[in-house]
Structure 1
Amino acid sequence: MLYGIAAATTALLLTAVLAAVLRAPALRLGLVDRRRQQRKVPLSGGLAVVLATCAVVAVGEWTDLVPLGGGDLLVAAVAVAALGLAADLWRVRARVLLVGTAVAAACVVPYEETGVVGGALAVGWIAFVALGFRALDHADGLAGTVGVVAAFGVGACAAAEVMDGLAVLLSVLAAALTGFLMHNWPPARVGLGSGGALFAGFVLAAAGVVARTGHEAASSAGVLFALNTVAVADVLLVVVSRRLAGRRGPDHLGHRLRRLGLTPQGTVVLLGLGAFAGVLVGVLEHLGWVGGTGALWVASGALVVVLALLRVKSSGTARPVSPQVRAQLRVRNG
């Protein structure tokens, strides 16, 4: 208990310091958010979250205060973060990130308990959620806020299963994301980037799968969905809206809410409350305090929100094309 509090506090402070210290080197290396045209936002926050989380966990392992049962999980998450960092520095196709994340997920799924089919579904779910968190990084403060809420929820589920090491890992991740939010709250001074977002999403999804191991499959699916409602809803909204419009553009939850008149801060708070509602239902269902219909209500609410936001008029703004891409197109077209 005391170690968990000390570890979380250390992770929070260390992340806050590292995010600031790494800001200048990130700018010099060109590790910046390419989606922003007005100002350069360095992606030192994601690297700070990964480094702080790993450092605190490594000290816990070295001192043998709280041996982690999820050591392999953290190693796989770091590999995914490295792949995301490569995507931050260079252009990496989404399918490469998907395959790489799925391979890492395949290394941490407990097949003895899930079986082959269940394990394959778990691998797909972990990769889906990890990329969903990467998509949530479209708005300042959003991925960090949703990640903190989800980490507390998954940590509560792990604690209920007496998985102390996994619960501590999630509390450390929640604290690290909180330290990151000190720099990322709108308007952001640093960003999370693909590396940090994939790392957080991977840990949360994989830890949720491990915590639900041994429970009934349908019930587990409902709990896992509830714990990651906002990320799933965001992916669903983007896929459907782009299918209907036949183009790519600013179609995420945050974009649509901003077009309704919400401020950047208000958007984060509203989606954070939505994440909290889903996580609360997921934890209560995991504990057996609510029936399986709880997750169905969460799914219904998420679907209503997605359908409502689909009616919000799109800005019609296509994704900005970089000068390098324009040059390549001119060469192709002669």
Structure 2
Amino acid sequence: MLYGIAAAATALLLAAALTTALRALAPRTPLGAARPGGRRAARNRNASRLGGVAVAGATGLVAGTGAATGLVPLGSTTGTLLLAAGAVALLGLLDDLRPMGARARIIVEAGAASVVVHGTHLGFLTGALAVLWIVFVTNAFSLLDHSDGAMGVVGVVTALGLCACAGAEGLGPLAVVLGLLAASLTGFLMHNWHPARVTPGGCGSLFTGFLVACAALLVNAGHEAPEAPAALFALTVVVTADIVLVVVSRRRAGRGVLREGTDHIAHRLRRLGLTAPGAAVVLGAAAALGTTTGVLLHRGAVGASLVWWLGGAALVAVVLLLRVPVYGGRRRVRRAEAERVDLLRADA
């Protein structure tokens, strides 16, 4: 217990310090500038994309130190997970440096997920579905990195809930790693809160999404249906709703599903009058509701039927947010851009 608290405090301070150092380094690297037309085009152009290096680095360094000193041996399963998550973080960093195609990213993510799923001894069909789900959640967290603080807040809440589940399952090393992830994200959020001076980039968002998805699978692997799938959905309801909202919205508007745009949940909340911190808090509250439901399902305190209420609430939210206008003609886009600039200036 004492080691866990000390390790979490160390990870928080280390992530905050690393982020500060990387912010100073950013102007001399390609990651200190926004991609033309990329997801950061509508955000603070002075924010670097090196924050994910601090999150992944602090989590890995503290966990590795604990394993090397024998205080918290990671074991084969958690060690494999951490290495696979590190490979995904490296993938995200390379993508930040030189954007690669979606196919290449998915192949690497699926390979890393397959390594983790192999250790769960799931059947072929169930294992294949698990790999696809991990890839989906990993990229969903990456897409959540479109508003200051959004990905970090959802990541902290979800990691803490999974930490409780892992502890209840007797998976001590996994619980420690999840606690370190939550602490590292908290240290990073000190710099990512609006107005953000640094963003997680692909490195941090893919690392967080992959680690969260794999951990959710590991803590529920021994549970039977329908509780296990229900818990997995509840733990990732926010990122799932965001993906559904964006896909449906773009298909209805005749836009490419894979193109970037300001049509995510946080963007629509901003158009409804919320500030960037307010949008992050709302997403965090929604994630807390889903995570609490997932933990209760995992503990057997409630039945799987409860997830239908959660799914219904998420569906209602998506339908209502679809009514918020985010597309339009050139004149409307220019007016929206001017309003966005005024909001940013007001928040600053």
Q: Same fold (TM over 0.5)?
A: yes
Shift of 1:10: 0.3
Note closer, same or farther for the CA distance 1:2–1:132 as it changes in structure 2 (3 Å cut).
same
CA separation in 2, counterparts of 1:168 and 1:294? Answer: 29
Q: Pick from 222, 230, 251 the counterpart of residue 263 of structure 2.
A: 251
Q: How far did residue 221 of structure 1 move? A: 1.0
Tell me, yes or no, if the aligned pair for 2:236 and 2:290 is still in contact at 8 Å. Answer: yes
Which runs of 5 or more structure 1 residues have no equivalent in the other structure? 321-334
1:26, distance to aligned residue in structure 2 (A): 2.2
**2:187 corresponds to which letter in structure 1?**
G
Which amino acid is the alignment partner of residue 66 of structure 1?
Answer: V
Moved over 4 A (4+): 317-320
Instruction: Please say if 1:147 is aligned against 2:152.
Output: no
- The answer to whether the aligner puts 1:308 opposite 2:320 as a matched pair is yes
Question: Residue in 1 aligned with 2:142?
Answer: 134
Unaligned runs of 5+ in 2: 335-348
Aligned with 1:307: secondary structure? helix
Q: CA deviation at 1:112?
A: 5.3
Alpha-carbon distance between aligned partners in 2 of 1:316 and 1:254, rounded to the nearest angstrom: 18
Partner of 2:14: 14
How high is the TM-score relative to the length of structure 2?
A: 0.89
Deviations 1:136-178 (A, max 9, x none): 1000000000000000111111111000000000000000000
Aligned sequence identity (%): 53
2:294 is matched with which residue: 282, 305, 315?
A: 282
> Conserved in 2, the CA contact under 8 Å of 1:110 and 1:210?
no
Could you tell me which amino acid in structure 2 is paired with residue 273 of structure 1? A
**Take 1:143 and 1:63, find their aligned partners in 2: how far apart are those partners?**
32
Please state how far the C-alpha of 1:28 moved relative to its aligned partner. 1.2
Note closer, same or farther for the CA distance 1:112–1:261 as it changes in structure 2 (3 Å cut).
closer
Paired residue for 2:105, among 94, 97, 112?
97
Contact 1:113–1:213 (CA<8 Å) still a contact in 2? no
Q: Is the 8 A contact 1:142 1:268 kept in 2?
A: yes
**Aligned partners of 2:179, 2:129: CA distance in 1, in Å?**
26
How far apart are 1:40 and its partner, in Å?
2.2
Matches within 5 A, 1:110-189: 110=118, 113-189=121-197
Q: For residues 154-203 of structure 1, give each alpha carbon's deviation from its aligned partner in whole angstroms, at most 9, with x where no partner exists.
A: 11111110000000000000000000000000110111001110000100
After TM superposition, the structure 1 = structure 2 runs for residues 1-334 of structure 1, keeping only pairs within 5 Å, are 1-32=1-32, 33-34=34-35, 35-36=40-41, 39-69=45-75, 70-110=78-118, 113-247=121-255, 248=259, 249-316=261-328
Q: State the aligned residue count.
A: 320
Please give the secondary structure, in 2, of the residue aligned with 1:108. Answer: helix
Superposed CA deviations along residues 83-118 of structure 1, whole A, max 9, x for unmatched, are 111111112122322221111100101465321111
8 Å contact kept, 2:227–2:303: no
- In 2, the alpha carbon distance for the partners of 1:27 and 1:54 equals 25
Between the aligned partners of 1:94 and 1:297, the Cα distance in structure 2 is: 34
